[in-house]
Amino acid sequence: PWHETEKTLGVFGTPLVDTHSKFLKTASYGDTLLVNVSVTEWRDKSFVQVYRIMRGDEAIMECEEVRIFAARRTDGKNGIRAVAIPPEIQALCS
């Protein structure tokens, strides 16, 4: 849980900073969909996550998003700042 990682690592979430989606086919109620999610790139303070939604062998939707690892600002102002990705979190995702 994020409240635990904030206590131990100073990180409280991974906010979305950029996203691109392609809707390739329609889906409807009752369809069985498979959601594939993977991290395709690790950067210093962000990562790229890719989603691919499938109905059988058909791709329904593709999405790429960039997320940062966020900590609270330490300069007395409200807000967040991007911080280096904790190696232990990256290892859990590999």
pLDDT for the residue numbered 64? 99
Range of the domain at 51: 2-92
Question: CA angle 7-8-9, nearest 5°?
Answer: 105
Question: Please, are residues 79 and 57 in contact by the beta-carbon 8 Å criterion?
Answer: no
Binned at pLDDT 50, 70 and 90, residue 93 comes out as confident
Whether residue 2 is predicted with pLDDT greater than 90 in this model: the reply is no
pLDDT for the residue numbered 1? 81
Give me the number of domains the chain comprises.
Answer: 1
pLDDT digits (tens, 9 = 90+) for 76-85: 899 999 999 9
Q: What is the CATH number of the domain that holds 23?
A: 3.10.129.10
pLDDT digits (tens, 9 = 90+) for 33-70: 999 999 999 999 999 999 999 999 999 999 999 999 99
